[in-house]
Amino acid sequence: MGKYYITTPIYYPSGKLHIGNAYTTVAADTVARFKRIMGDDVFFLTGTDEHGLKIQQKAQEAGKPPKQYVDEIVEGIVKLWDVLNISYDKFIRTTDQYHVDAVSDIIERLRQNGDIYKDEYEGWYCTPCETFWTKTQLGEKTVCPDCGRAVQQAKEESYFFKMSKYQDRLIEHIESNPEFIQPASRRNEMLSFIKSGLEDLCISRTTFDWGIKVPFDKKHVVYVWLDALTNYITALGYPENTELFKTYWPANVHLVGKDIVRFHTVIWPSILMALNIELPKQVFAHGWLLLDGGKMSKSRGNVVDPIVLAGKYGADAVRYYVLREVAFGSDGNFSNELMINRINSDLANDLGNLVSRTVAMVEKYFASNVVGGGEDTEVDISLKELALETGEKSSDEINKLMLSNALESIWKFVSRTNKYIDETTPWILAKDDAQKPRLQQVMYNLCESIRLISAYIQPFMPHTAAEIHKQINNDSVDRCWSNNGEFTVKKGNVLFPRIDLEKELSELENITV
């Protein structure tokens, strides 16, 4: 049994989270669940990044103190993760006192190590993204490269972290550890960025006060990105050498969106090097869910509410769609029509119909009880071989974080199992008493295939897997084929009712965007 530490970014509570935020967290949850099933000791961290000028401005607009404002938003985020069945082990808030104390300690350590100095910052700042940009990065337009909004020129006294000092060491680490930044396209981008020359990092602000005070100069607050990134170690008890920290650090993987890969693969490892802390094993930067060709973001105002979608179609349908539709690491399109079509074809037709047909036939032909142990034919052996290949392939793909590929392989097995029904024609076998042993073996093989499918989809769709277990009276997550088991089936609710596409599109047009 190994140790496995997986994190999401901590989300900025400036407004309700959207389906793009849920994408990262559902992916992390799927990997965490899979690792637990495989016997690993898992620690899964998520949370909220609650300081900064943008939050202070949003709170002022709402006529509330910043802490009250973020408390209300965070309550909604916790509800969202509950609705989507997210099995996190810890939820960190950067307003938690232990985190505030730890960040103060980290700043002091960096200063004592000679890695912090005071100077004056002059450049361009995007408040919605809480990001500094140089004129070179902006190009001819004075708009944020991430969100497209106007940036403001800023000039103020600031403390700086000597990030440039770690440039060569960072390049060496990335080149020596090709798995550190994935996918490879992101690694190449970051290497190019670093080799073009790292500047020292501005790590404090004086033009607002909603943040952690710099311990040796209280008129400064810690820049929100330094505050946020350190959550991955403060959540484990750092700077104390706690059991959590000793057990789980370094992180196995930080899952992040591609828009924040620079912070996680340049700023964060530089800070860790300065603190003499081992670097995470991997930063995996996935792509965006695009809406009408553009990035989905609260700053842009084009969001889709996952709570609405989960309320209408079930959390597992939402989880399945976002992970199945997009190759993890690449961009992909989100649309209500694509989602509904995917639910109808993959979930209602393929999986749901397979389970309902099989359970109905076992009830009809064998009074709900079927056992294995009969002789297999060539078509049975072929089904079993694919069943085991699917378990191996899907496991391998999840371990590589290729979640869409894993689901694709599982659904090939779903389709093959449906085809097995057509090949073996149970309804014809049932007409001949002499064929009853053969019919029983066919029905057993179908139930065992469904059991394995439920085991394979459990990390992705935990509620659906549990519902299938109830209908076949078997909750085993063993990923090996059993020839001598027994199933006592009981018809349950339809797993995924078919959706009227035109009606739903009309309703969703008015409530989700």
pLDDT value at 294 more than 60:
no
What band does 120 get if pLDDT is binned at 50, 70 and 90? Answer: confident
Domain extent, residue 365, equals: 335-488
The pLDDT, as a whole number, for residue 50 is 95
**Number of structural domains the chain divides into:** 1
- Residue 456's identity, in one-letter code, is Y
The pLDDT, as a whole number, for residue 282 is 98
pLDDT value at 139 more than 90:
no
pLDDT value at 218 more than 90:
yes
What band does 38 get if pLDDT is binned at 50, 70 and 90? Answer: very high
Cβ-contact 89, 45 below 8 angstroms: yes
pLDDT value at 64 more than 60:
yes
> Tens of pLDDT along 313-342?
999 999 999 999 888 878 878 888 889 999
Q: What is the pLDDT averaged over residues 421-448?
A: 96
Average of per-residue pLDDT values in the chain:
91
The pLDDT, as a whole number, for residue 297 is 45
> What are the C-alpha distances in Å from 110 to residues 51, 85, 216, 399, 406?
21, 39, 12, 35, 43
Q: What is the pLDDT averaged over residues 343-364?
A: 97
- What's the burial of 309, exposed, middle or buried (CB within 10 Å: 0-12/13-18/19+)? buried
Quick check: is 378 in a domain? Answer: yes
Q: What is the pLDDT averaged over residues 230-255?
A: 96
Quick check: is 484 in a domain? Answer: yes
Q: Residue 136: how many CA atoms within 13 Å on its side-chain side?
A: 4
Where residue 440 sits, what CATH number does that domain have?
1.10.730.10
Q: Which of 49-53, 144-148, 391-395 has the lowest mean pLDDT?
A: 144-148
What band does 308 get if pLDDT is binned at 50, 70 and 90? Answer: confident
Q: What is the pLDDT averaged over residues 374-382?
A: 94
The pLDDT, as a whole number, for residue 511 is 65
pLDDT value at 47 more than 80:
yes
> Tens of pLDDT along 86-99?
999 999 999 999 99
The pLDDT, as a whole number, for residue 126 is 79
Phi, psi values for residue 44, rounded to 5°: -115, 120
- Of 476, 449, 457, 477, whose CA–CA distance to 386 is shortest? 449
Quick check: is 320 in a domain? Answer: no
- Of 93, 128, 126, whose CA–CA distance to 14 is shortest? 128
The pLDDT, as a whole number, for residue 87 is 98
What band does 498 get if pLDDT is binned at 50, 70 and 90? Answer: very high
More confident: 429 or 290: 429
More confident: 254 or 335: 254
> What are the C-alpha distances in Å from 337 to residues 123, 297, 310, 500?
43, 20, 15, 11
Rg of the Cα trace of the chain?
26
Quick check: is 2 in a domain? Answer: no
pLDDT value at 485 more than 70:
yes
Q: What percent of the chain has pLDDT over 90?
A: 73
The pLDDT, as a whole number, for residue 333 is 80
More confident: 502 or 179: 179
Question: Which pTM value belongs to this model?
Answer: 0.92
The pLDDT, as a whole number, for residue 512 is 45
The pLDDT, as a whole number, for residue 301 is 39
Quick check: is 426 in a domain? Answer: yes
The pLDDT, as a whole number, for residue 155 is 77
- Residue 65's identity, in one-letter code, is P
Quick check: is 390 in a domain? Answer: yes
Biggest alpha carbon–alpha carbon distance for the chain? 90
More confident: 221 or 291: 221
Cβ-contact 421, 380 below 8 angstroms: no
The pLDDT, as a whole number, for residue 298 is 41
> Tens of pLDDT along 12-30?
887 778 788 888 999 999 9
Quick check: is 402 in a domain? Answer: yes
Quick check: is 417 in a domain? Answer: yes
